[in-house]
A = this chain, B = another copy of it.
Amino acid sequence: MKKLINDPQDVVAETLAGFGAAHPDVVAVHTDPNYVTRAGGARSGKVGLVSGGGSGHEPLHAGFVGEGMLDAAVPGAVFTSPTPDQIAPALQAADSGAGVLAIVKNYTGDVLNFETAAELADADDVNVRSVVVNDDVAVEDSLYTAGRRGVAGTVCVEKIAGAAAERGDDLDAVTAVAEKVIANVRSMGVALTACTVPHAGKPSFDLPEDEIEIGIGIHGEPGRRRIPLAGADEITEMLLAPVADDLKLASGEKVLLFVNGMGGTPSSELYIVYRRARALLEERGVEVVRSLVGNYVTSLEMQGASVTVLRLDDELTTLWDAPVHTTALRW
């Protein structure tokens, strides 16, 4: 295992220490328990926005704390949902009286820990609502399973709900916008290499030099199937088609196209994937009117990418375009 780390047990704490020291103008890092808030604290009268999950997906979520996006983020241990006693104070810190929306990725651990935290916060008179992001089409959504995972589409939910909260929407309205994004965003990912969880010390799966995993999540799990290494264009088709199909995209629709890197993929490769994904959407008569390309929802140092498509209407487009000032997303 080759990483720029010290003791594997200290990875999250040391990352947060560096993050806080580097960006005191944007964020405040709290330790014991660990959570991150906006430097200025919660803005009075604004609905609070909180997200969180296992670490190892940076910049998700702490990189999205700041004006126009999250009020607080809760990083768990690497690939491990945070605990209620971390989440509850973050919910409290984000509350300025208008209530808090928790944006939860659909994993058993995240859902359960956020549930408990919301109960704790509720006992302290914080009005907590939550939405569950489940954009990963690699996983079948069925009554008999844990449902689809939440992956890169989470960025879209956090950005757009964040803009709604910032413009003064109330808790019902912010929740409705978040649900609308969730209903219209889908993703699918590929891994060229595994990643190594620091405390595990060896790769999350063993992948021969000539094979890749299609339909991976963001926790180093193997994907739905293993296939021979293929060209970027071919791989992009395998990612884009199920996403577009699941969204039932029709000719004439407008979308945001988001090509996300898994952490170890250089941006040049992401642009190659973007180029092909865009062409495939155009072949379907779908217009790409907004774009995001970069490493935003990662799996440690994994090489790979995911393709996310968000169906846009005027409201979502306006909210996407609204100013944002976080360490990872800014305009």
Enumerate chain A interface residues (CB-CB to B < 8 A). 2-7, 11, 14-19, 21-23, 55-56, 58-59, 63, 190, 192-193, 209, 212, 229, 231-233, 235, 263-275, 278, 288, 291, 293, 295, 298, 300-301, 303-305, 330-331
Contact = CB atoms under 8 A, between A and B. Distances in A.
A129 to B, nearest CB: 30
Contacts of A275: 14, 17-18, 21
A192 B274 contact: no
A180 B265 CA distance: 34
Residue with the highest number of chain B CB atoms closer than 10 Å, among A16, A232, A268: A268
Given A22-B293, A330-B330, A303 B11 contact: no
A7 B21 CA distance: 43
Given A272-B11, A275-B17, A291-B22, A305 B4 contact: yes
A212 B2 CA distance: 9
Residue with the highest number of chain B CB atoms closer than 10 Å, among A14, A56, A231: A14
Contacts of A4: 190, 192, 232, 235, 265, 269-270, 272-273, 304-305
A263 to B, nearest CB: 5
Top 8 closest A-B pairs, CB basis? A18-B271, A18-B275, A4-B269, A264-B264, A22-B291, A2-B192, A18-B274, A15-B268
